[in-house]
Structure 1
Amino acid sequence: MIENAFRAALLPCMLFAACTAGAAQDNAPKLSTPVTIVVGYAPGGATDRAARIVATSLQAKLGVSVVVENKTGAGGRIAAQHVKNAGPDENMLLLGNPAVMVVAPFVFESLAYDAVKDFQPVSMVTEYGFGVAVSADSQIKDMKGLVNWAKSNPDKFNIGVPATGSLPHFFGLMLSEQIGTEGQIIGYRGSAPVITDLIGGAVPVAIDTLDVLTRQHEGKRIRILATSGQEREAALPDVPTFTQAGVDLQAAGWNTFFASSAMPKAKADMLGETLKSVTADPDVRKTLLQNDLIPVSANAQETGKLVDAFRAQWAPVVKDSGFVVTQ
């Protein structure tokens, strides 16, 4: 999704990178101390899985220990603040997502970091899509049925999402706008309670990432009506994209490594090139896919382009929502 959507924007810098890669690697700094990957979420989640899969191969390529540290709290913002304060001699990376690096700066009146000034992109390593789902027992069988039901029952059109202010939250607003009926976003404390309430009928519709929804769909506990990519998901060949289902909507999220702006650019660039080679490895890509993660291979320069394009897509949606957290 991301790689296809922005291929034209990235082509010039990718060609330049290919021509200069050999010289850059010869002059790249070598690390002699461990690397710490900071994850703002508990073990077992999508971001944590991506970090640990990448860390194993990254350690072999760098020749130093790579440690994953889960620094949870405040929806990943505590981890971002921690990495922001890393000094130039520290080999510390944040594996961040759009909620922390794109959405938070717009919705939190008081934020202890500047997502643009305090960080530098290093490497985008995975992406993920979204899906809209109903209970397997629901009378809604497809997107056309959902649109018709929502228009006929606007007072019941509640959309469960894993967290208020999350990307699924704003994707829900995009969906409401596209179908012409405003849904009430119901924020939960994580994906598990959303799925529980969806299966039980307490909430009629849910939006979450596909890594959460797919296995429940395969187990016939829920029904995914549409997915957010440009093409159908390989694991869900019978589920159309929103576009194929008649709703003009595409979107994706990502997991990207960021370093503090204090890290020397040469070191950040070296880590970016190394991480790009990690996620280009067929075995690593296979493992990521087996964990419902879509691999992306991008160095620091390419990642910067991707993140900028993502901000351009989502910033208006977040701003126009008027959603602000004051505490």
Structure 2
Amino acid sequence: MRKHSRQRAVVTRETTVRNWISCAAFAALAAASAAPACAQQAPLDGALTIVVGYPPGGSSDRIARLVADRLKDRLGVTVVVENKTGAGGRIAAQGLHALAARQNVLMLANPAVMVVAPLVYAEPGYDARRDFQPVSLVSRYKFALAVAANSPIRDVAGLRQWLRDNPRQFSVGVPATGSLPHFFALMLGRQIGQEPEVVGYRGSAPLISELIGGVLPQAVDTLDTLLPQHRAGKIRILATSGDARDPLLADVPTFREAGVDLAADGWNAFFASSAMAPAKAARLGEDIAAVMREPAMQQAVRESYLEPVTADAAATGRELDAYRAQWEPAVKASGFTATQ
């Protein structure tokens, strides 16, 4: 068996999704955009900038641009998306507070930036609790466990049996060391009673390539990344991490249905600097939530294999607190630390 590719540095929103959204969804959004702007007075004086810590084309960038397109009509102001990539999204977070002192800026971020990085980096370059305020949660995504299509493992019960027969071969690939799938794999190992060897890759593409090729026996990644390969018959998803089965994958059980007491997800949410007036942040949260309620927007998000969410600033804050309560113990218990 070839040696696994490894990487030990980056906490990132590691996944990429299929680089398309259906023409029908875009057409529907374009039609919605042609509607008259909301008559409410905009909460902004000047343009709005949305900062994304990941490259163009990924799910975070796509959602940011979909929201930006609708906000410009709703608010009647220019809305610009800027990709400030690097350090797994931390570059964007580090610069947000300084930017907000002189302009209207929001950041679209995920738990890798807001929850995990402050725990595994000695100096992430920001204080996630002090420097930011929640604005609006816009999407959720699930995790999944997968094997190659030709693997003898057909389901989670089969995995348990395989591990009993091969007790020191629980090797699980993840798209990056220190990522959310990394810690989900550790939580999975605790639940099934066997600690995995977590193999970190330089992104989802090489991870999936080695899984398909049989180099890697198991992999954990986000469902939106794995689902296209599952549908193409190249890999087999054994279970997903939601509380209920995903409607796009109704024949695959959740981990709990498969006898593993484990449920978790990730999300994308807008944040503002703590320097922004709370009333302005709250109003922007209401506007983004209104945009996310539009049927065309929800369809566009689903086309990316994500779950659309409608949440204002207060609801987003509660979601963030609950997420920290679930994930911080697991991250701390792992003893994992990352380098810059």
Report the CA distance between 1:28 and its aligned residue.
7.1
Checking the alignment, whether the CA contact within 8 Å between 1:164 and 1:188 is kept in structure 2 is yes
Identity of aligned residues (%): 57
- Which residue does the alignment assign to 2:305? 292
Equivalent-residue separation in structure 2 for 1:292 and 1:35 (angstroms) = 27
Equivalent-residue separation in structure 2 for 1:96 and 1:28 (angstroms) = 27
1:172 is aligned to 2:188: no
Equivalent-residue separation in structure 1 for 2:157 and 2:102 (angstroms) = 55
1:204 maps to a residue whose letter is P
Equivalent-residue separation in structure 2 for 1:245 and 1:295 (angstroms) = 26
Equivalent-residue separation in structure 2 for 1:237 and 1:276 (angstroms) = 28
- Which residue does the alignment assign to 1:252? 265
Structure 1 unaligned segments of length 5 or more: list them.
Answer: 1-24
Checking the alignment, whether the CA contact within 8 Å between 1:122 and 1:272 is kept in structure 2 is yes
Q: Deviations over 1:275-299 (max 9, x none)?
A: 0101111111111111212111001
Q: What's the secondary structure of 1:213's corresponding residue? A: helix
Checking the alignment, whether the CA contact within 8 Å between 1:28 and 1:267 is kept in structure 2 is no
Structure with more helix by fraction: 1
1:190 maps to a residue whose letter is G
Equivalent-residue separation in structure 2 for 1:178 and 1:189 (angstroms) = 27
Q: Spell out structure 1 runs of 4+ moving beyond 3 A.
A: 25-29
Equivalent-residue separation in structure 2 for 1:108 and 1:93 (angstroms) = 23
- Which residue does the alignment assign to 1:63? 76
Find 1:272's aligned residue among 273, 278, 285. Answer: 285
Checking the alignment, whether the CA contact within 8 Å between 1:38 and 1:95 is kept in structure 2 is yes
- Which residue does the alignment assign to 1:106? 119
TM-score normalised per structure 2: 0.86
Question: CA 1:63 to 1:255, structure 2 compared with 1: closer, same or farther past 3 Å?
Answer: same
- Which residue does the alignment assign to 1:76? 89
Equivalent-residue separation in structure 1 for 2:40 and 2:65 (angstroms) = 28
- Which residue does the alignment assign to 1:9? none
Q: What's the secondary structure of 2:249's corresponding residue? A: coil
Equivalent-residue separation in structure 2 for 1:221 and 1:26 (angstroms) = 50
TM-score normalised per structure 1: 0.90
Find 2:205's aligned residue among 175, 185, 192. Answer: 192
Equivalent-residue separation in structure 2 for 1:246 and 1:29 (angstroms) = 50
Matches within 5 A, 1:28-43: 30-43=43-56
Equivalent-residue separation in structure 1 for 2:175 and 2:223 (angstroms) = 12
Report the CA distance between 1:29 and its aligned residue.
5.7
- Which residue does the alignment assign to 2:4? none
Report the CA distance between 1:34 and its aligned residue.
1.5
Of 133-142 and 53-62, deviating more is 53-62
- Which residue does the alignment assign to 1:13? none
Checking the alignment, whether the CA contact within 8 Å between 1:29 and 1:267 is kept in structure 2 is no
Q: Deviations over 1:84-136 (max 9, x none)?
A: 22234411111000000000010001221000000000000000001000000
1:148 is aligned to 2:161: yes
- Which residue does the alignment assign to 1:162? 175
Q: What's the secondary structure of 1:298's corresponding residue? A: coil
Equivalent-residue separation in structure 1 for 2:64 and 2:231 (angstroms) = 26
Of 207-216 and 49-58, deviating more is 49-58
2:163 maps to a residue whose letter is A
1:85 is aligned to 2:98: yes
Equivalent-residue separation in structure 1 for 2:174 and 2:163 (angstroms) = 17
Q: What's the secondary structure of 1:174's corresponding residue? A: helix
- Which residue does the alignment assign to 1:121? 134
Find 2:110's aligned residue among 97, 114, 122. Answer: 97
Q: What's the secondary structure of 1:123's corresponding residue? A: strand
Q: What's the secondary structure of 1:104's corresponding residue? A: helix
- Which residue does the alignment assign to 2:232? 219
Root-mean-square deviation (Å)? 1.5
Equivalent-residue separation in structure 2 for 1:164 and 1:324 (angstroms) = 10
Report the CA distance between 1:326 and its aligned residue.
4.1
Equivalent-residue separation in structure 1 for 2:108 and 2:331 (angstroms) = 22
Of 56-65 and 124-133, deviating more is 56-65
- Which residue does the alignment assign to 2:149? 136
Equivalent-residue separation in structure 2 for 1:50 and 1:291 (angstroms) = 9
Equivalent-residue separation in structure 1 for 2:282 and 2:41 (angstroms) = 8
1:208 maps to a residue whose letter is D
Q: How many residue pairs get matched? A: 303
Equivalent-residue separation in structure 1 for 2:246 and 2:215 (angstroms) = 28
Checking the alignment, whether the CA contact within 8 Å between 2:41 and 2:75 is kept in structure 1 is no
Q: What's the secondary structure of 1:292's corresponding residue? A: coil
- Which residue does the alignment assign to 1:233? 246
Structure 2 unaligned segments of length 5 or more: list them.
Answer: 1-37
